[in-house]
Amino acid sequence: MNSRHFTIAIDGPAAAGKGTLSRLIAETYGFHHLDTGLTYRATAKALLDAGKTLDDEIVAEKMAREVELAGLDRDILSQHEIGEAASKIAVMPSVRRALVEAQRRFSEKTPGTVLDGRDIGTVVCPQAPVKLYVTASPEVRAKRRYDEIISKSAPADFDAIFEDVKRRDERDMGRADSPLKPAEDAHLLDTSEMSIEAAFQAAKSIIDAALSRNN
């Protein structure tokens, strides 16, 4: 770490609340935010749009190198099928290498950055002065997904969502390259029984303490 930029690394499984928390933190501190999941999603979408299969690592790496961080559109990329495809191509080491390079460049922006994903504290920014691992039980995460879909008046099947959350966890935690796990020095935030406001306050105390050490 140096005093020119300050990096906050936020990891955790799907639907644990890390996206909302990361955006709140970035807004509060005036830092740049990157949802690194969108980089995997954009790569997957480029493959799907080009009619390519999801098992050709050479083509996938090429697509990963062409991803423009400035053009990532959350609304388009949030589709379920894109998330599934992203989780499949995220096991490919050369895709990860390409995206990690871009993410590291982003993390050097001043005055600071918030990156959220699965391997930020362990691989992308292991020197980050603040690492948070945001988690919640699979049931709670599935229920949040379910409520979110219902609130948009779309049909949702809780059991299917629950199975999906568990399958995604297995894939993200079980892959050989950069599996999802807390960094040794990460602060654990279990949001199963915590409001987003409470999680934010907990994160804020950790960040404020690190910022004052840094000054």
Instruction: List, in order, residues 6 or more apart from 98 with CB less than 8 Å away.
Output: 61, 64, 65
Stretch that binds ligand DC, among 86-94, 147-155, 185-193, 195-203 (CB under 6 A): 86-94
14 near ligand DC, judged by CB under 6 A: yes
Rounded to a whole number of angstroms, the minimum distance from the CB of residue 210 to ligand DC is: 21
Rounded to a whole number of angstroms, the minimum distance from the CB of residue 189 to ligand DC is: 16
Q: Between 3 and 75, whose beta carbon lies closer to ligand DC?
A: 75
Rounded to a whole number of angstroms, the minimum distance from the CB of residue 78 to ligand DC is: 8
Q: Between 162 and 211, whose beta carbon lies closer to ligand DC?
A: 162
Measure the CA–CA gap between 165 and 145, rounded to whole angstroms.
Answer: 9
Of 42, 107, 119, 186, the residue at the interface with ligand DC (CB under 6 A) is: 119
145 near ligand DC, judged by CB under 6 A: no
Site residues for ligand DC, 16-55, by CB under 6 A, read 36-37, 40-41
Stretch that binds ligand DC, among 2-10, 54-62, 113-121, 148-156 (CB under 6 A): 113-121
Rounded to a whole number of angstroms, the minimum distance from the CB of residue 19 to ligand DC is: 7
135 near ligand DC, judged by CB under 6 A: no
Measure the CA–CA gap between 180 and 172, rounded to whole angstroms.
Answer: 6
Q: What is the 3-state secondary structure (H, E, C) of the chain?
A: CECCEEEEEEECCCCCCHHHHHHHHHHHHCCEEEECHHHHHHHHHHHHHCCCCCCCHHHHHHHHHCCCHHHCCHHHHCCHHHHHHHHHHCCCHHHHHHHHHHHHHHHCCCCEEEEEECCHHHHHCCCCCEEEEEECCHHHHHHHHHHHHHHCCCCCCHHHHHHHHHHHHHHHHHCCCCCCCCCCCCEEEECCCCCHHHHHHHHHHHHHHHHHHHC
Of 7, 60, 113, 117, the residue at the interface with ligand DC (CB under 6 A) is: 117
Of 118, 141, 145, 187, the residue at the interface with ligand DC (CB under 6 A) is: 118
86 near ligand DC, judged by CB under 6 A: yes
Interface contacts to ligand DC, rule CB under 6 A: 14, 36-37, 40-41, 83, 86-87, 90, 117-119, 168, 172
